[in-house]
Amino acid sequence: MNGRLTARGIVRRYGGIEAVAGVDLTARAGRITALIGPNGAGKSTLFDCLAGTARPDAGRVLLNGRDVTRLPAHRRVRLGLARTFQQIAVFPTLSVGDNVRVGAEHRQGRTDPRAVAAQTARALDLLGLRDVAAEPAGSQPTGTLRLVELARALAADPCVLLLDEPAAGLDAAQTSRLVAVLRGLAERGLALLLVEHDAGLVAELADTVYAMAQGRLVAAGPTAAVLTDPRVAGAWGART
């Protein structure tokens, strides 16, 4: 269950733009790490490099000490790296339960249907989705779909979980559940890394914060220190 994800010197260019210009970052087991920064800072690009949906032009990504820089996203999932997306990506015609089952089936070695069913049920319960498990995902509101995405990621039994704006579209009750679930996961030894624009949520949840602007880190360290750093407050003001 314990996980660790490390980025070393990540560079990713789009044409002439260095979207990520040499970033080091570590998400540790048992910790909630947040990545913050204004629009266009490079957070999503860095996230994609970590998850395997983008290839860095330079630098390395290590998952539990193993170099995964050249591995595609689905191979990283099998090694314990799961993610959720900023744009919700559920299968609308599948039921909520079947969407979560897809995550359970993605994990290596899980060919036993009973194990898949058990892991799916656990993830649905954890996110309070049992009552809507048989409903088509497309009929559910955005807040519920965020939780479906998280349940799907958790059903793969990850040791590192990447979350792209997990609270976007959640109501207060769903946000409280999310906070409790994420804390519980960290207590069980998962390494969590989230991109989040809600400063209150970052302050409440994160142990460590990395702040980016224009492709570079402008500050990194304990949450309170980074959030009160004048360079961060200035750069982050756009979305808070």
Residue 218 near ligand ATP by CB under 6 A: no
Specify the DSSP class assigned to residue 221: E
Interaction mask 24-43, ligand ATP, x per CB under 6 A: -------------x-xxxxx
The pair phi, psi for residue 9, each rounded to 5°, is 60, 40
The pair phi, psi for residue 144, each rounded to 5°, is -65, -40
Q: Which of residues 161-200 bind ligand ATP (CB under 6 A)?
A: none
CA distance 96 to 10: 36
CB 240 within 8 A of CB 234: no
**Number of shown-chain residues binding ligand ATP (CB under 6 A):** 11
Window contacting ligand ATP (CB under 6 A); options: 13-21, 57-65, 89-97, 154-162: 13-21
| HEC secondary structure over 57-78 | CEEEEEECCEECCCCCHHHHHH
Burial tier of 109 (Cβ tally within 10 Å: 0-12, 13-18, 19+): exposed
Any idea which residue has 């407050």 for tokens?
233
CB 84 within 8 A of CB 116: no
Looking at residue 126, its amino acid is L
CB of 205 to ligand ATP, least distance (A): 18
Residue number, 153 or 236, with CB nearest to ligand ATP: 236
Residue number, 1 or 14, with CB nearest to ligand ATP: 14
CB of 235 to ligand ATP, least distance (A): 11
CB of 19 to ligand ATP, least distance (A): 3
Residue number, 19 or 90, with CB nearest to ligand ATP: 19
Residue number, 20 or 155, with CB nearest to ligand ATP: 20
CB of 240 to ligand ATP, least distance (A): 12
CB of 115 to ligand ATP, least distance (A): 36
Selected binder of ligand ATP within 17, 58, 73, 79 (CB under 6 A): 17
| Cβ count near 55 (within 10 Å) | 12
Interaction mask 45-84, ligand ATP, x per CB under 6 A: x---------------------------------------
Alpha carbon 9 to chain centroid, angstroms = 20
3-state secondary structure of 118: helix
Residue number, 19 or 82, with CB nearest to ligand ATP: 19
| Cβ count near 6 (within 10 Å) | 18
Footprint of ligand ATP (CB under 6 A): 14, 17, 19, 37, 39-45
